[in-house]
Amino acid sequence: MCLAVPGKIIEIMEDERKAKVDFGGIIREINIQLIKNDAKIGTYVLVHAGYAISTVDEQTAKETIEIWKSMGQGTLEEII
């Protein structure tokens, strides 16, 4: 099973291949090469295995995080 976690781009690194993404207070550096043209600060992305694989709207991202939390499947920190 694959899992992609939504997060918000808060910084694009100087080489433009990586970005810092906020997963509800947990910040991780991820690769954005697969969505390079759509990657902007404030954009929500789905991240799998350290790569942003697509963009997603803010409402969907927040709903997904809430669903995950309500399922009791662990914290975001445990799965990121």
Cα 51 to Cα 19: distance, rounded to the nearest angstrom? 10
Domain that holds residue 35: 5-79
Structure tokens at 73: 């499947």
19: buried, middle or exposed (CB in 10 Å: 19+, 13-18, 0-12)? buried
pLDDT of residue 45: 97
pLDDT of residue 1: 57
pLDDT block averages, 10 residues each, the chain of length 80: 86 93 91 93 95 95 83 62
Q: What is the pTM of this model?
A: 0.84
Domain total of the chain: 1
CA distances from 41 to 29, 46, 62 (A): 13, 14, 17
CATH number for the domain spanning 43: value is 2.30.30.140
